[in-house]
Structure 1
Amino acid sequence: MKKLLMDILIKVNILKIIGYSKKWIEGISIHSKMVKKNIIFIANQGINTDGHLFIIEAIQNGANIIVCEKKPSLIQKSITYVLVKDSIEALGTISSNFYDNPTKKIKLVGITGTNGKTSIATILHYLFYKMGEKNILISTMGIKIMSKKITTLHTTPNIIEINKYLNISIQKGCKYAFMEVSSHGIHQKRITGLLFTGGIFTNITHDHLDYHKSFDNYLSTKRFFFENFLHKNTFALINVDDKNSHKIIKNVLAKIYFYGIKKKADFKIKILKENINGNELIMDKNKFFIGLIGKFNIYNLLASYATAILLGKKKYEILKKIKTIKPIKGRFEQFISYSGIRIIVDYAHNPNGLKTVLNTIKKIKKKEEKLICVIGCGGNRDKKKRSLMGKIVYDLCDRSIFTSDNPREEDPKKILIDMKKFRSYLKKKDILTIVNRKEAIKKAIQLAKKKDIIVLAGKGHENYQEIKGIRYPFNDMKIAKTLLKNYNR
């Protein structure tokens, strides 16, 4: 792909252009080491690093156009400098322009909230694919165009990759895109330039307060998405049962629809029966069984159904396919060993998500079935939630094993100490602390008896464990299956 510089600067808030402007570009980068000839380098002010410090390196690697907020002290005649008010916003607009403004040609639905984003996006991708509608999924689990998974440079795709793969998906005939929208992405302006057909609000609870500093700031960020990215010809689908839903919709121009189980809503569902294998439901007068466990999953299912309706699909068509949905990898993913031990792997990594998963199991398990939980908390993340999560596991489980999650740059032993800092820990029950996550899972398997339930919480689908900047191969379900086999369990 090749574009003229001035064509990709349309709608960019430019302060000044220094140098020759009639240049061709063949790509965009925010990483100085990945720049080569005819690649435009955009110097972003990040959380940990400032791209302006790498302008010289980018030029040395071949960049001849630099987009920046601050004029470099050394101006080179052969280089074009585009001074902008906000380089992060410019990145979004430039990326969209370079890839032919893909969101003008595809129906993009953004899903935001503390929990449920990945599940809803994945269910929608599956539903539309099964209904014969070509679509793209953009989530923390990666990018998927129809059935093909795309390998990206980052766990969470950046705005350049998002526009690139949206453009590719359109060329392959996709008409719909389903994308997770994180609070970090909203706050850091990483979705600038994208046009949304609709937005879904799942819920909001304690999470990411290390970044947002307060719950009000976190809530305001979510609200910003609905107020600034959804116009009057779009839809906002809101979980009416969330206690903060009324705050989200204060100044929303989009057409508002509600979904829920408890309160009056445009889209409702009733749970007739639930057990460890799934739920019997009634929705739009249709009774059916689905192999998704827990009320939280039923909210995700309902939001997906409602979105499909709002995007113009027929009820009977959706219901026919919705019955075939299977559990999502790393989201209440189950395995039963030949000796009858049940393993449940879930991504629950915040207090509400963890409490919801454990309460769901307690509600549907038999009295004699013991609940064992292996849990850790991420390093260099919200420290306030550590003791909250520790207390939840201690209060709700028969056995608690505290271990490492992704300790990152922190000492995992200190994280475990933080997890035990709650008042109700009176040593009525033991808490096992095992730093090595594999050893912790092994201990849980050794403690378990037939029909006991082991929950491996926090990492879900992840295939790595991050320690001191290195990502080591690690997957909870794979480790558990291997250990069960090795110990003939």
Structure 2
Amino acid sequence: MKKRLKDILKKVDVLKIVGKNTSKLIERISMYSKIIQKNMIFVAKKGKTTDGHEFITNAIQNGAHTIVCEKIPSSIHKKITYVLVPDSMNALGIISSNFYDHPTKKIKLIGITGTNGKTSVATILHQLFSKMGEKNILISTMGIQILSKKYPTTHTTPNIIEINKYLNLSIRKGCKYAFMEVSSHGIHQKRIAGLLFQGGVFTNITHDHLDYHESFDHYLSTKKFFFENLSKKAFALINSDDENSYKIIKDILSKTYFYGLKKNANFKIQILKESIHGSQLLIDGHKIFTKLIGTFNVYNLLAGYATAILLGKKKDNILKKIKNIKPIRGRFEQFISNSGIRVIVDYAHNPDGLKTVLNTLKKIKNDDGKLICVIGCGGNRDIKKRSLMGKIVYETCDVSIFTSDNPREEDREKILVDMKNFKSSIYKDKESILTFVNRKKAIETAIQIAKKKDIILIAGKGHETYQEIKGIRFPFNDMKIAQYLLKTYDQLRCCVKSEMK
């Protein structure tokens, strides 16, 4: 794809252009000087730890012929065009939209935001619309999926260039709908600048990412900013049971709808029965059974149903297809061994998400079965939530096993100490908490301890296929490791029984 510079600068708030050649052909856009090549634009942005303006010279050396920046360098090159803007990220949103032919004007884009449930709601919508024969693109923590083809990403919300690029590609492949997770980081860092949303979904908001936002109020206001920027023609679908829902919708322009289980809402659902196998639900007067488990998943399913209704889909068709939604990888993902031990792998990586999953398991497990939890906390992230998560596991589970998650640059032993640094009114010896720096050893210990009817929750990493230690990502998959160890120990137990006979 190639465009003239003057064409991709349309509607950009340009303060000044140094080097008047705006007829240059642009072949690609980037914010990263290392990947700049000939005939590319380099957009210099100020980040939290680095400033792209410091890499303008590198970008030019690598082939950039146009620089978009908030400050013109003191030393300029005659053959280079410099475009001065007040905000590089806002400019980048418009530039990338222009370059990729304004994809959000041609596709119905739905953004899902909240602390927990973003991936599940987005994936439920992707599955549901696919089952209804509607071509769509999914943009989520687990990557980008256009029809059946998957593309990897590094962030929950990719950068705005990637988003426009893949939306453009999806349109060329016939997609009419796009379902995208919108993270608080993505909102604050303007990774969704210039996108036109048909609707926004709010799942919930609880303690998370306070290492980045520094306060809950800032975290909340960031989420609210997404809804404040929806147009009058868009819809806002809000979880009415979340205590902060009315703060989110205050003064927004879009039409507001509510979904929930408890309070008055436009879209309501009732849980008739739930077990380890699934949930029997009453939705709009219709009974359905879903393999999705837990109240949190009922909210996610209802959000998917309501969004489909608001997008004009027929209720009967939605209900027919939604009951066949498959459980989502790394989100309450189950495996049961031949010996009757059940393993749940879940992405729960914040206090509320962890508490919700554990309470669900406690409610549906066998009375004579134990609840065992393997949990870690990420390094170089919100320290305050470590003791909160440790306390939740300690007070809820029969066996608590603390281990590493993605320690990143932090000392793993220190993270474990932080996790145990809580006070509890429940009397149990804290020494009963098992701690292992090695995550595989922690999972293996849980499997060694477990007996028939016990449930092991392996929390924190979910779908992830790596463990990040000191800047290196080592292959690591909670579910695959658990399945391998369970099968191995099943065989050993089988052999022991045979020998005893």
Question: What are the equivalent positions in structure 2 for 1:28-47 lying under 5 Å apart?
Answer: 28-47=29-48
Query: Which residue of structure 2 lines up, in the alignment, with residue 57 of structure 1?
Result: 58
The one-letter code of the counterpart of 2:464 is E
2:443 corresponds to 1:438 = no
Alpha-carbon separation, structure 2, partners of 1:104 and 1:243:
34
Alpha-carbon separation, structure 1, partners of 2:11 and 2:379:
40
2:275 corresponds to 1:275 = yes
Q: Contact 2:202–2:238 at 8 Å: present in 1 too?
A: yes
* Structure 1 position 390, deviation (Å): 0.2
Alpha-carbon separation, structure 1, partners of 2:210 and 2:76:
41
* Structure 1 position 153, deviation (Å): 6.2
The one-letter code of the counterpart of 2:49 is N
Alpha-carbon separation, structure 1, partners of 2:152 and 2:467:
19
Query: Which residue of structure 2 lines up, in the alignment, with residue 206 of structure 1?
Result: 207
Query: Which residue of structure 2 lines up, in the alignment, with residue 467 of structure 1?
Result: 469
Alpha-carbon separation, structure 2, partners of 1:212 and 1:109:
24
Q: Contact 2:157–2:183 at 8 Å: present in 1 too?
A: no
Greater displacement, 17-26 / 386-395: 17-26
Query: Which residue of structure 2 lines up, in the alignment, with residue 337 of structure 1?
Result: 337
Q: Contact 1:142–1:156 at 8 Å: present in 2 too?
A: no
Alpha-carbon separation, structure 2, partners of 1:139 and 1:269:
26
Which segments of structure 1 move beyond 6 Å, counting only runs of 4 or more? none
Query: Which residue of structure 2 lines up, in the alignment, with residue 66 of structure 1?
Result: 67
Alpha-carbon separation, structure 2, partners of 1:389 and 1:483:
26
* Structure 1 position 156, deviation (Å): 4.5
Alpha-carbon separation, structure 1, partners of 2:363 and 2:58:
58
* Structure 1 position 157, deviation (Å): 2.0
Alpha-carbon separation, structure 1, partners of 2:132 and 2:150:
19
Query: Which residue of structure 2 lines up, in the alignment, with residue 455 of structure 1?
Result: 457
* Structure 1 position 33, deviation (Å): 1.0
2:407 corresponds to 1:407 = yes
Structure 2: 5+ residue stretches without partners: 492-501
Query: Which residue of structure 1 lines up, in the alignment, with residue 496 of structure 2?
Result: none
* Structure 1 position 155, deviation (Å): 6.3
Alpha-carbon separation, structure 1, partners of 2:458 and 2:210:
24
Greater displacement, 96-105 / 150-159: 150-159
Q: Contact 2:202–2:237 at 8 Å: present in 1 too?
A: yes
What is the DSSP-based 3-state SS (H/G/I as helix, E as strand, rest coil) of the residue aligned with 2:15?
Answer: strand
* Identical positions, percent: 75
Superimposed CA distance per residue, residues 445-480 of structure 1 (whole angstroms, 9 cap, x where no aligned partner): 011011110000000000111111111111100110
2:13 corresponds to 1:13 = yes
Q: Contact 2:157–2:182 at 8 Å: present in 1 too?
A: no
* Structure 1 position 265, deviation (Å): 0.6
What is the DSSP-based 3-state SS (H/G/I as helix, E as strand, rest coil) of the residue aligned with 2:480?
Answer: helix
Alpha-carbon separation, structure 2, partners of 1:463 and 1:157:
19
Query: Which residue of structure 1 lines up, in the alignment, with residue 109 of structure 2?
Result: 108
Q: Contact 2:156–2:181 at 8 Å: present in 1 too?
A: no
Q: Contact 1:142–1:157 at 8 Å: present in 2 too?
A: no
Query: Which residue of structure 2 lines up, in the alignment, with residue 305 of structure 1?
Result: 305
Query: Which residue of structure 2 lines up, in the alignment, with residue 347 of structure 1?
Result: 347
Question: What are the equivalent positions in structure 2 for 1:54-453 lying under 5 Å apart?
Answer: 54-152=55-153, 156-228=157-229, 230-424=230-424, 427-428=428-429, 430-453=432-455
Q: Contact 2:142–2:152 at 8 Å: present in 1 too?
A: no
Alpha-carbon separation, structure 2, partners of 1:82 and 1:153:
29
Alpha-carbon separation, structure 1, partners of 2:16 and 2:416:
52
Q: Contact 2:157–2:191 at 8 Å: present in 1 too?
A: no
* Structure 1 position 83, deviation (Å): 1.1
Q: Contact 2:157–2:181 at 8 Å: present in 1 too?
A: no
Query: Which residue of structure 2 lines up, in the alignment, with residue 476 of structure 1?
Result: 478
* Structure 1 position 486, deviation (Å): 2.2
What is the DSSP-based 3-state SS (H/G/I as helix, E as strand, rest coil) of the residue aligned with 1:466?
Answer: strand
Q: Contact 1:269–1:283 at 8 Å: present in 2 too?
A: yes
CA RMSD after TM alignment: 1.1
* Structure 1 position 426, deviation (Å): 5.6
* Structure 1 position 127, deviation (Å): 0.5
- Return the TM-score normalized by structure 1: 0.98
Q: Contact 2:103–2:167 at 8 Å: present in 1 too?
A: yes
* Structure 1 position 210, deviation (Å): 0.9
What is the DSSP-based 3-state SS (H/G/I as helix, E as strand, rest coil) of the residue aligned with 1:381?
Answer: coil
Alpha-carbon separation, structure 1, partners of 2:224 and 2:461:
28
Alpha-carbon separation, structure 2, partners of 1:153 and 1:384:
25
Number of equivalences: 488
